[in-house]
Chains A and B, each alone.
Chain A
Amino acid sequence: MMQKKLIALRTPGSRPLLALMTVIVIMLMLLLAACGSASSSNNSGSIDYSGTIVIWHGWQGAYLQAKQAIFNEYMHLHPKVKIVLVHQDNIASKAATAVKAGNGPDIIAFTDDNLGSLALGHIVVPLDQYISQDDLNQTYSPAAASALVFNGHVYGVPEAVEAITLMYNKSLVSADQLPKTTDDLLAFAKRYQQTHPGQYGVVWPTEDAYFNAPWFYGFGAQYVTPDGKAHLDTPQALQAMEYIASFRPYLPKQPTYDVVSSLFAEGKAAIIINGPWSYADYASGGKINIGFATLPIVNATGTPAKPFVGVKSLWMAKTAKNPALVADLMKFYTNKANQIAMSRADGEIPANSSAADDPAIQALPAVAGYAAQVKLGLALPNTPYMSALWTPVQNALTAVWNGTQTPAKALSDAQAAATKGIAQISS
């Protein structure tokens, strides 16, 4: 029907104005339709337990199975509700396009640093009506709760707190051999390669801004200042960059995430710097006996390397059809029992404080390992300007790792690119 309408309007001629009007009319109709459905279900007293809820997420592997089980239970409780999990690669940009087109999911599950830009772009919407700030503070650990609030509004619930830490293969390296400082780490990588040719002492994706944040912040640098200025052309950042580059002889030349992760999984790397999402895959079936340690202390500053602490969150998308049901599902998904089950299955640190305080959970080595690191980390900057930093920093790291640029030149270029990107965001 829609197609006919479009054709009928289009055919009279090739005048762009008409084409434009068609688009506007269609968009208006969609907008009206979206508003209509939203307002009709705003009645929060009773929840309509029916319909389909689409969740876009980046969960994978064993990690995904643990979460799927919780959603299955919800569907079991409410047989008329259907929950569809859709894996997306570039969640933020895909959601932005899809939601604008009225074709988005009901829930977006991603890390908290994206909240700022998604909220500014009206991709995700507040649900204060169903979940208040008080609810958040009572249910979840303080850091996790605050990550869901932007400009005074609640946008969803946190599910887990995560940070990358040092994970090691106990059959390749013993706890007392673990490097304690950055200099130790470098020496360890060098020594290990000499004694184990074709294998690696330590691996991590050295071209990724997130995975290298611990070094930058540990050396006293930062990507972006709280007031939204790129901050890459500092002596501290240069030191960090030079430290990372000094690992070039001892790591693969193309250390992409899949490469380093497989190396560790296959026992060809003794230590990996990675996060909770990877634990279940390495550990499942007793493949690898994994030990945890916090990241080393930076010799230059005497402070530990500081990873970003991300809060994995579920937000309500603008395209959500039944906000009351969405909120109900979010609460169910992050209640104590389900959070404990999730933690047991995949070793994540639950965001729900009563689950996190549960002695059984605290006794899990993985949770204890990541929790120790989280205490030393720092919150992911959720300023929307952070989104303009990831690519320039990654490009600088890549150019240095490939040897196409010196650390100094790479950083000054990244600084210029990030400044330009920030200007584009605010324009």
Chain B
Amino acid sequence: MSAVEPRTETDDARMRREEAELRAAWETPRGWRHFSACNNQTVGLWYTGASFFFFLFAGVLALIIRAQLAVPGNDLVSPGTYNQLFTLHGTMMMFLFAVPIFEAVAILILPQMLAARDLPFPRLSAFGFWCFLIGGVFVGGSILFNAAPDSGWFMYPPLATDTEQTGIGADIWLLGLSFIEIASIAAAVELIVGVLKCRPPGMRINLMPLYAWYVLIVGGMILFAFPPLIAGDILFEMQRLFDWPFFDAARGGDPVLWQHLFWIFGHPEVYIIFLPSIALLAMIVPTFARRPILGYGWIVLAAVGTGFLSFGLWAHHMFTIGLPWLSLGFFSAASEAVAIPTGVQIFVFVATLLAGRAIFSIPMLFATGALAIFVFGGLTGVMVALAPFDWQAHDSYFIVAHLHYTLIGGMFFPLIAGLYYFYPFVVGRMLSARLGRWSFWLMFAGFNIAFLPMHITGLRGMPRRVYTYPEGLGWDWLNLVSTVGAFTMAAGVLVMVWDALRPGKPRAPRNPWNAGTLEWVAGDPSEPWGIRSVPPIRSRYPLWDQPNLIREIDEGKFYLPGAPEGKRETLITDVLDATPLQVLRVPGNSFKPLIAAVLIGGSFIATTFHWWLLAIASGALGIAAIMVWLWTGTAAIPEKPERGAGLGVTLPLYASGPASVGWWAMFITMVGDGTAFISLVFAYFYYWTIHPAFPPAGMAPPDGALMLGGGAAALAAWAAMLGARRANGGGHAGRVRLLIGAAALLSVAGAALLLLAPWQAGLDPVAHVYPATVWVLVLWTALHLGVGVLMQGYCLAGALAGRLTARHDIDLRNVVLYGHFAFLTVATTLAVLVLAPRAT
């Protein structure tokens, strides 16, 4: 069917040739080169394995905690060690397991679900994985050197900003996790663009598997939730490293600002963890109910609603800081309201089962257990959402119980259901149903034995995060029971791990659960190409509704059946209707993402130890490595403009601007970047509200003339880039180079003027929070102009190397897009620092 196919070739020979082509193009490297793999399947597997390893590690920490608390007055571990244990347990479970495993599983199964050969940025996925692994080992490994963070996963200042009381652990937390957050955002960009642009032809947005919807929603949430934490981390680390007083009340700062920034991240985070697991259930339940999901529109709307509401609840983590009645009422109401979309999602599952002919299976066993635990956690959540009850429950073991019920029921059990469900398609083997039952009952019973009593322990007054407790307060036997339960649950986890790793499991038949979605087309997981040919889709459950689909996919009857040029290619389709738009060449295996991750990671790690020269050198080399990676792996000009994509369709091989995936990635990234910036602006206005005058009496705002001069230069740089894009479209190569060069020089000038402005006004960032906030905004803005200069330099080099033509202008258009956001940043900074002080 393919356009390049010779007429005389027999079907058999054609299939063999196509398979050989695909195998050659997509082969996973062996030996030590295995680690150069840049393919969602391989990276997804590494990612899943690594985050699961971190889960086991953090679980062992929990067991040590439970052993210490088994009896009153215990001295198994010292308070110093205990504080590291609980801090790292929470930190690792959240940042190294719960969020990454969502991204890992999504990278692993989403392409198959969308019948995509790969997601659009495999090297970005690999880079994200290596960042995650390096950061994770750095953060987790710190406890082996007695250097782990020890002020709680919430890191409240002024305890955690005090460099006397908290050692290097706090820096490891801030820098290690910032590094990982960048990886998380990278994965979110990859997944969002993947869902929007890499669907099979015909899979309109309302035909997407529910999992894809959840990935889209959660990806968006990551984009808005993580940046406030990154902004908070920046303020925090500036205080720790340079004594800028953001959270020091004595110098105008406020420790509560950190709590706002942390929980504006921290609460959506809970739903970022929860929704992807519900998404797994949304795939599992219809399969075993043997019917399509009932209320597809309902569940999508409910998930969107949960995502939105989750950003309006953060202050319920702060009910005890002394909020005014109005805030308490508002956040109580919002926290109760989120139960409604959650209820809709749960009843969509229940109704689907009622409307189907449910069959029993291990995934369903775990799904039912998940429901039993999660609903209980949801009900205690309704209780603590009421501020008066929370005043008692807050920071007591009641909350420990509540949060574990929601997370274990809402995230862990669904994930294990997903493990049993997807294992055959990922590994090609079946897990044992007998061991599955053992594992389930040990985990389910152990969990409830451990955490049910904690509700009572908490209401009987036991606060969280105490390394030991006196006897006679009624907590003794409750704690002992909890400890027994924790070890029982651990035994269940061990059974599961044993089953997953043991050799000799039976081979899985194809589509063993008789599911309806496309990931089950996958046959032998040792074939690297993903899907044999990309089918046109007409239904939400194509394997149920489109007869002979698997056979025809295997025979290469559909799109992209081969790789005649030996290149890795995937199909790009339209966002809403999934009409085919482009055959995207994706880059192949490379060590460059690994090298870049090591160098950038090295820079973060060196900063932790205050090895400034190494940090700068490593960071600069890292940026250089990324430049080389971009230069060699992206925006290559294809040898021909288009190719036959199968089924008689011919598609372009190159697209730029909004038609290209790179443009979307830049746009999405900059939305996240903008959110971080807005969080810093929020900090400025937050300080404004708590001070009678801001700038405070006796302090001058940064020099207005210099600020405006900097703004004018930035505006001119922006205009020059717009001019360059226009000139490039008209084919004026010389003018393009001139304008890009001018833009770079103007950006440098703008950044310099902006930095000079607070300097000129004599603003000392250590003295008070006002100058510190001014400096942070100015530095952020100047840094963005500086990154713009790097990009402009890259474009200029491309223009000089002949890579920039009137048609092949991806880089230029992406840099112009970056420029829009950078200029918006400059304009906002000017408005805040120059106009706002004059408005009072």
Mutual binders A and B: no
Residues of chain A whose beta carbon lies under 8 Å from any beta carbon of chain B: none
